[in-house]
């Protein structure tokens, strides 16, 4: 942590608050993500993980607090600037969120619409992204022809295609069988090694956290309750923390 | 008898003792303002949605490729349905009208009467209603399911404006395609009518259509075509609004699809009434 004190984080959330009526979901959540690290955020269902992530990418407006991504406060950005910044962030949705009226190729082509270079370069990027997830053969299939694990891998390829500096994974292993979950976890780890991206992983899967994380944050009652490595948190005697590792 | 009701003014539940029908009516009346409020909120939100459409539709970037895809979906894929509906409409309308006209010895008026009725009113309204059932509900269900499966969020996160890509293209496509479908449906309906006249009244197709073209004037075609653009806009607008703002998971998708048809059908009649009213001023129907 002393080394990090001198490095500016690639993503910084300060005192984030969000309420829905009387339900205070985030109560001053603060965190930093540094270049090349895998930060896992764990929390119970309804603890505000998804709300935090939605605020982070501008899908939801926070009540107060600041979110700085690569030095830019997204709460103060204009829509066009926010859209440009979003190309630097990959997002893997919990349910994959593949466009079901488009083929795998078209799904991957969609984020490339922002790029000016056309055609050949697009094909190269699409094939490279699919090869990364081992699904080059599925390029012309429709999403409904894919299994759950394949969908997640195509979604991962889509999140990767613009070589983003940050990738956010929202429950990457939820709804998958243990074997496929393991494959996805290893895939995430390999991709992080290959591209050196910073990853923010939202999960309640302890195995996933153990394999992937460099650092972990436990989100309880809308605040970062405890921060540390997997080992530190797993060996904690605090009952609230132990509940996650049982 | 005791009962519990919700008082919308104080935002709390209250106990009431229902003694007779008067008390029951009072309990009911407390709920009505909430529904009226919800209705006006819905109208306001729909107007805001329409305003956003105009703002986004005329500012770059333009999604021409997606617009063409939607035009194909809305236009080409509805041709058979509109064709069959139009044909049966012309057939039935002529068969039903024939005996009455024969009573007055006025069968020769059949082409004029049928063509004016179909071109001015019946064709546009019936075909727009059929399209509301197919297209508006389809758009509502498609966008609704995209909303609940986070596909719209995924688009937004990828830096694309989903409103421009999904909503603007669909509303523009329906606005452009519904008038064409109505013209096509009218033409097929007139063929249906001509067929009945040919089979039952020994009237040749040439004679029938000569009479049709003698009867129809620009003052019949212009208002009908103009209002069909508004019908198309309403079909796309309500379907997109319901789907884009869909909530409550898969149940919400069903509701979006269903309410898109109901609201669009109502709106079509309102537009038709206004269009006829205005046509009356300019063209003296």
How does pLDDT run across B143-196, given as a tens digit for each residue?
999 999 999 999 998 888 899 999 999 999 999 999 999 999 999 999 999 999
- Per-residue pLDDT, averaged over A51-63, amounts to 90
pLDDT of residue A196: 86
| pTM for the full predicted model | 0.85
Q: Inter-chain contact B155–A99, Cβ cutoff 8 Å?
A: yes
Beta strands in chain A (DSSP E): 11-20, 23-33, 38-43, 64-69, 72-73, 89-92, 166-170, 198-203, 215-220, 223-228
- The residue among B151, B153, B156, B163 with the most chain A CBs within 10 A of its CB, best to mutate, is B151
Nearest-by-Cβ selection for B149 from A95, A113, A114? A95
Domain boundary among A120, A138, A163: A163
Instruction: Scan for tokens 């270049």, then name that residue.
Output: A35
Nearest chain A residue to B149 by CA distance is: A97
pLDDT of residue A118: 58
Question: How confident is the prediction for chain B on average, in pLDDT?
Answer: 88
B17 within a domain of the structure (yes/no): no
Neighbours of B191 (CB within 10 A): 17
Neighbours of A114 (CB within 10 A): 14
Nearest-by-Cβ selection for A59 from B142, B146, B153? B153
Q: How far is B234 from chain A (nearest CA, A)?
A: 24
Q: What is the pLDDT of residues A171-180, one digit of tens each?
A: 888 888 888 8
> For position A189, which CATH number holds?
3.40.50.300
pLDDT cut 70: percent of chain B above it: 88
Q: How far is A20 from chain B (nearest CA, A)?
A: 16
- Domains in chain B, number: 1
Could you give the angle at the alpha carbon of A96 between the alpha carbons of A90 and A97, nearest 5°? 90
**What is the domain range of residue A234?**
4-88+164-245
Tell whether the torsion through CA atoms of A194, A195, A197 and A199 is positive or negative. negative
Q: Inter-chain contact B149–A100, Cβ cutoff 8 Å?
A: yes
Q: What are phi and psi of A11, to 5 degrees?
A: -140, 130
Nearest-by-Cβ selection for B156 from A59, A94, A113? A59
A20 within a domain of the structure (yes/no): yes
A94 within a domain of the structure (yes/no): no
Alpha helices (H) along A69-197: 79-86, 104-109, 120-132, 148-160, 178-195
**Would residue A163 be called left, alpha or beta, if left means φ above 0 and alpha means ψ between -120 and 50 degrees?**
left
Do A144 and A235 fall into the same domain? no
Do A169 and A206 fall into the same domain? yes
Structure letter (DSSP) for residue A70: T
Nearest-by-Cβ selection for A86 from B142, B146, B159? B159
- Domains in chain A, number: 2
A55 within a domain of the structure (yes/no): yes
Is pLDDT of A158 > 70?
Answer: yes
**What is the domain range of residue B101?**
52-283
- Per-residue pLDDT, averaged over A70-81, amounts to 88
Tell whether the torsion through CA atoms of A133, A138, A142 and A143 is positive or negative. negative
Do A9 and A74 fall into the same domain? yes
Residues whose CB falls within 8 Å of the CB of residue B211, separated by 6 or more in sequence, listed in order? B108, B111, B112, B115
Q: What is the pLDDT of residues B68-105, one digit of tens each?
A: 999 999 999 999 999 999 999 999 999 999 989 888 88
- Per-residue pLDDT, averaged over A10-26, amounts to 91
Distance CA A35, CA A196 (A): 8
A95 within a domain of the structure (yes/no): no
Do A78 and A173 fall into the same domain? yes
pLDDT of residue A204: 84
pLDDT of residue B158: 87
């Amino acid at each position: 942590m002393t080394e990090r004190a001198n490095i500016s984080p690639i993503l910084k959330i300060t005192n984030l608050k969000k309420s829905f009526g009387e339900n205070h979901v985030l109560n001053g959540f603060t965190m930093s993500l540094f270049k090349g690290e895998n930060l896992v955020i764990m929390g119970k269902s309804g603890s505000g993980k998804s709300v935090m992530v939605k605020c982070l990418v501008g899908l939801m407006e926070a009540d107060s607090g600041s979110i700085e991504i690569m030095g830019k406060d997204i709460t103060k950005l204009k829509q066009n600037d926010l859209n440009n910044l979003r190309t630097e962030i990959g997002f893997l949705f919990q349910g994959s969120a593949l466009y079901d009226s488009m083929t795998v190729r078209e799904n991957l082509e969609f984020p490339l619409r922002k790029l000016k270079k056309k055609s050949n370069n697009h094909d190269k990027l699409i094939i490279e992204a699919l090869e990364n997830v081992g699904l080059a053969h599925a390029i012309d299939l429709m999403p409904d022809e894919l299994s759950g694990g394949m969908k997640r891998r195509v979604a991962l390829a889509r999140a990767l295609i613009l070589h983003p500096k940050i990738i956010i994974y929202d429950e990457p292993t939820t709804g998958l069988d243990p074997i496929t979950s393991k494959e996805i976890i290893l895939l995430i780890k390999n991709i992080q090694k290959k591209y050196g991206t910073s990853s923010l992983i939202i999960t309640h899967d302890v195995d996933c956290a153990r394999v992937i994380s460099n650092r972990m944050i436990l989100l309880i009652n809308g605040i970062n309750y405890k921060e540390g490595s997997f080992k530190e948190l797993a060996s904690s005697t605090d009952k609230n923390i132990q509940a996650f590792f049982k | 008898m005791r009962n519990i009701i919700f008082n919308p003014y104080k935002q709390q539940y209250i106990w009431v003792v229902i003694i007779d029908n008067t008390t029951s009516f009072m309990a009911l009346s407390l709920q009505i303002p909430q529904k009226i409020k919800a209705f006006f909120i819905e109208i306001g939100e729909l107007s805001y949605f329409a305003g956003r459409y105009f703002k986004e539709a005329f500012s770059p970037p333009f999604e021409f490729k997606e617009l063409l895809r939607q035009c194909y979906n809305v236009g080409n894929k509805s041709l058979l349905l509109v064709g069959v509906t139009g044909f049966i409409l012309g057939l039935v309308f002529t068969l039903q009208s024939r005996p009455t006209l024969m009573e007055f010895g006025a069968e020769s008026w059949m082409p004029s009467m049928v063509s004016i009725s179909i071109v001015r009113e019946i064709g546009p309204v019936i075909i727009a209603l059929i399209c509301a059932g197919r297209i508006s509900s389809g758009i509502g269900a498609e966008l609704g399911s995209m909303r609940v499966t986070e596909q719209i969020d995924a688009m937004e996160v990828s830096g694309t404006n989903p409103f421009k890509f999904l909503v603007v293209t669909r509303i523009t496509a329906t606005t452009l395609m519904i008038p064409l479908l109505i013209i096509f449906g009218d033409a097929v309906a007139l063929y249906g009518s001509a067929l009945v006249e040919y089979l039952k009244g020994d009237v040749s197709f040439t004679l029938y259509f000569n009479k049709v073209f003698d009867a129809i004037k620009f003052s019949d075609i212009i208002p009908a075509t103009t209002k069909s653009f508004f019908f198309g806009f309403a079909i796309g607008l309500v379907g997109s609004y319901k789907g884009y703002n869909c909530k409550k998971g898969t149940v919400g998708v069903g509701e979006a699809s269903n309410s898109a048809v109901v609201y669009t059908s109502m709106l079509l009649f309102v537009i038709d009434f206004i269009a006829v009213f205005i046509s009356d001023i300019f063209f003296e129907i």
